[in-house]
A and B are shown apart, each in its own frame.
Chain A
Amino acid sequence: MLVRVAPGQVRFVLPGLASTSSGVALGADILFRFATLERVVSFLRMVTAEANLDDVAASVQILLVRQGQGAREVLVRLTQISPHGIDVPIRAARAAQGQGFTGTGRHFAALRDAQSPLGYDVDHLGEGAHELILHAHQGDLAFKTEGELSLRELVMRLELVRDLRGPEGLTPNSLPPLCFLTVRQGLGETMISYFHRAEVTAFASLCEVDGQTGETSRFYFFRLHDPPKRLFRLLHTTPGVSMFLPVASGVAVAAGYRHPIHLDACGGLFGGDRLLLLQPAPLPARLLEPAPRAVAVERLISVARPVESPPVAESVRSAALDMSVGLTLVRGSIGKEHPMATLIPWEQLPWARKVFFALPASLLAHHRVVPLVSGLLVISSDGLTALPFGTLYKSAARGVLIPLGYSLRPGVSAGLLEERLGTGSGRVVLFPEDGPPVGIEPGRLAPLEASLLARIEVGAAEAHIQIGEPGATEAPRELRYRDGDLMPLWGAR
């Protein structure tokens, strides 16, 4: 039978009950009685949401008990650290429809409430050899312990909750700074080489766990630091690859899920040299003990062993294999290219003459000219700087001139071009934009200064071209209105 504790009362009938500094009667342990395990989970969830479990209780014990022939009940026994720390679990137990008791050993009295602010004592201890006796308002309740469930085991048995955002606010645009992967054994090598190629800071190790049926399963464990965002889909959608996000020291939860209990408040449970990987149902939780010692993937890259005696390829007759393709000009982009020659149309010759006239001797000495059908080709050995008109040519190889903005295909080396086109002995081969290449023998190239004095004879008539005017060959621009006949503004807003 419960009796109210009087103010100033220091002696109690219930063993282990003592008065705190505020006069409240409290035992060393706090016991909470719940009808079902689900309520215990709710209780733990609320407690961990508000406080760290290590700050609340020195130890947590979950007992499966039965009262006589009654239903099975669950008792949660907390060893209190300080009288102030028990307020959170008391509030949580009331919210989870549990009853609170305090005491030590076998006997527990109801916790204080509004009727008795200083707590309860008992008038006499009951008789009997029961394992636990709870002195409640409705009478004394005797319980027999049927089993015990450790908190870690409870955590491992709970089913994960689907959370699209993930416990770390995970979205396709963000990956956490640290994540774990379990990869099936067959994929391991591929993932190692992929992470190495993608320059991801990754560490890997091969783990072995004993399955429920006794067989040993192997898988690769990866630890990724600052994974790039582009890996999100790969890590989420590749079969055989599971991603875990660490939520507390030694615990990681599958990405896209969260544990019903706030595991970050249960740090003490999972300490030590082990790692618990919680997977969504129906997969069981994986406890890796000791924790995997991962090494950097760079060290795990398999290096191909050099072949000691490479097989000799069978040679085929050269006549049977014809791989030759024609050398063609293809258009590319115009970048920083240095012109080496220019083909000045005959229409622009008077203009060029004026420029030649003004050129200093040092520049004149570097230029050679040759009259062609399409115009006067001026080649400079030092790079063309003084003549920014005409069709500009650059040097693809020694003696091989191609227009600016073009390149030769196939892209063979300059040495081969020089050898095949025979330009080593001073011959010049010009590739015009339209038309076949033109070969110019070295004897036809005359120094510009000598040609200037000798007045180059040209066949075409001298056309009057004003400075800044395009050549006479330019096509006219004919205006043609397309849309709308008489109402061109129709539809304009």
Chain B
Amino acid sequence: MSARRLLEDFLLPLVRGGTVSVFRPIDRPAMERLLGATFVAAVVGDLSVPSSAADALAVIPSPRMPRVARESELTLQLGRHAYLQTLPVNVEAPLLDVDTWRLAIVLHNLIALSATPEVVHEEGSRPMRRRASLIALTAKMASLHAPDTLASALERHSLHQGLLKLRRTEHQVTFWAGQRSYVGRPVPAHMRPFARLRRIRVATTTREWPALEPAPGTRPILDALETASPVASALALGTGGYTVSWPHMLSVMRFAPLGRLLAARILDRGLSSVGESLAIALVEYAQQPISRSEELRAATQFLAHCLWLSELSPGPQHLPGPVLSALLHTAFSHAPALVTPPDLNRNRGNALVAGTLRGMTDLLARLETVGQVYEVRHPGVMLQLLQRVSPRNPEPIHVR
């Protein structure tokens, strides 16, 4: 696989639209030809050890950047910039840097590994071992650290978003001796002749990529990819295909423009449904040892922010579900600073602010009724969460 083919036949159509050509999976020698043996060795390391978060923090030498035509590079740059211009953030055109090449390899291999969904390899067989090795290799290549700037988050997302818009045509050919399926490739000519005699019937379906089941064994790649590029999964919230992952959500929310975008998405899709699943996921996440109190505090404040936006935006109001209600009401009762904007008290004299605050106080009080549905079944859970969120809270916390 040459850098030119990867860029022009795969990456450009993935970003700009068109026929996305996927070739044989990029194995280690091909990666070394693309990025240099030293770089690949530093990134991939020992394949027998599963990839971890520490891989992303390893000191990695600069790769030998593949040489491609300047025209293609510029076209990709403009294509990614054109996509980013559709988002309400101001960002410069992304460059064709090493992260781009790594993500390109990862996306290509991820799609290539789903080429034959019907083929099941025997455990321990040679193809199975090859496939496992390729998955481990690709997962290591995808182990980028979570984006540390808004620009890097959006640059990665400008590539990743193409995957979510990908669609695959599948042909199911039935003939007198059996049936055969062709996924992502046309029905070969030798299947067509004597159609009536051979009773050939072709059923064609087109499926979107998010609706496809992940290829067997590719979960490590998907996890690493979501960590490296969390914007896609965060923005796809509530559309199915992605489960709510607060670590990924938080790595998106730390950038204010993306946090606003996320809040707008949640409101678009309904705070009562999406907000409820977010609250359930937050309670589950709080019970895991990896969760930190700062994260839980930010998540609670974000959900309160969504409720405020919902209250301020025109249109019919929908009350949040029981879990979100229980969370916000408990927070309002015991740590009001978590759910009240800090500058509100300063402008209490303003009639508009005073009116909004009054309406919001009423709403939060009304949430108690809804939240009791949850509180009755799970007594004390929300208080424990709040205690973790605000351990220095001077207000007394009583378990009912």
A205-213, A385-393, A408-416: which lies at the interface: A385-393
Decide: B86 and A470 in contact? CB cutoff 8 A.
yes
CA gap between A489 and B132 in the complex, in Å: 11
Say whether chain B's binding surface is mostly helix, strand, loop, or mixed. Answer: mixed
Decide: A482 and B21 in contact? CB cutoff 8 A.
yes
Residues of A within 8 A of B77 (CB): 333-334
Q: Please pick, from A391, A469, A470, A485, the residue contacting B185 in the complex, using a CB distance under 8 A.
A: A485
**A234 contacts partner chain B, Cβ-Cβ < 8 Å:** no
Residues of B within 8 A of A443 (CB): none
Residues of A within 8 A of B25 (CB): 488-489, 492
CA gap between A153 and B207 in the complex, in Å: 95
CA gap between A73 and B9 in the complex, in Å: 86
**B228 contacts partner chain A, Cβ-Cβ < 8 Å:** no
Give a binary string over A172-197; 1 marks a CB under 8 Å from any B CB, 0 the rest: 00000000000000000000000000
CA gap between A388 and B261 in the complex, in Å: 14
**A471 contacts partner chain B, Cβ-Cβ < 8 Å:** yes
**B93 contacts partner chain A, Cβ-Cβ < 8 Å:** yes
Which residues, 112 to 161 on A, are CB-close (under 8 Å) to B? Answer: none
Which of A351, A492, A493 has its CB near the most chain B CB atoms (within 10 A)? A492
Decide: B18 and A483 in contact? CB cutoff 8 A.
no
Residues of A within 8 A of B87 (CB): 388-389, 467-468
Q: Chain A contact residues (Cβ within 8 angstroms of B): what range?
A: 35 or more
Q: Chain B contact residues (Cβ within 8 angstroms of A): what range?
A: 35 or more
B271 to nearest A CB, angstroms? Answer: 16
B74 to nearest A CB, angstroms? Answer: 6
Given the known interface contacts A334-B92, A388-B85, A480-B184, the answer about A493 and B18 at a Cβ–Cβ threshold of 8 Å is no
Decide: A489 and B88 in contact? CB cutoff 8 A.
no
CA gap between A144 and B21 in the complex, in Å: 98
CA gap between A355 and B89 in the complex, in Å: 12
CA gap between A333 and B130 in the complex, in Å: 42
Given the known interface contacts A333-B74, A468-B87, the answer about A483 and B166 at a Cβ–Cβ threshold of 8 Å is no
Give a binary string over B104-131; 1 marks a CB under 8 Å from any A CB, 0 the rest: 0000000111011001000000010011
Decide: A469 and B86 in contact? CB cutoff 8 A.
yes
Residues of A within 8 A of B22 (CB): 479-482
Given the known interface contacts A477-B17, A479-B168, A481-B115, the answer about A468 and B93 at a Cβ–Cβ threshold of 8 Å is no
A-B pairs with beta carbons under 8 Å apart, 24 shown: A333-B74, A334-B77, A334-B78, A334-B93, A389-B85, A389-B87, A391-B85, A405-B78, A405-B81, A467-B87, A467-B264, A467-B268, A468-B261, A474-B165, A475-B17, A475-B18, A477-B20, A477-B165, A478-B169, A480-B20, A480-B21, A481-B183, A485-B185, A489-B130
Q: Which chain B residues have a beta carbon within 8 Å of chain A's beta carbons? A: 9, 13-14, 16-25, 27-29, 74, 77-78, 81, 83, 85-93, 111-113, 115-116, 119, 127, 130-131, 133-134, 162, 165-169, 183-185, 209, 235, 261, 264-265, 268
Q: Which chain A residues have a beta carbon within 8 Å of chain B's beta carbons? A: 331, 333-334, 348, 351, 355, 385, 388-392, 405, 466-471, 474-486, 488-493
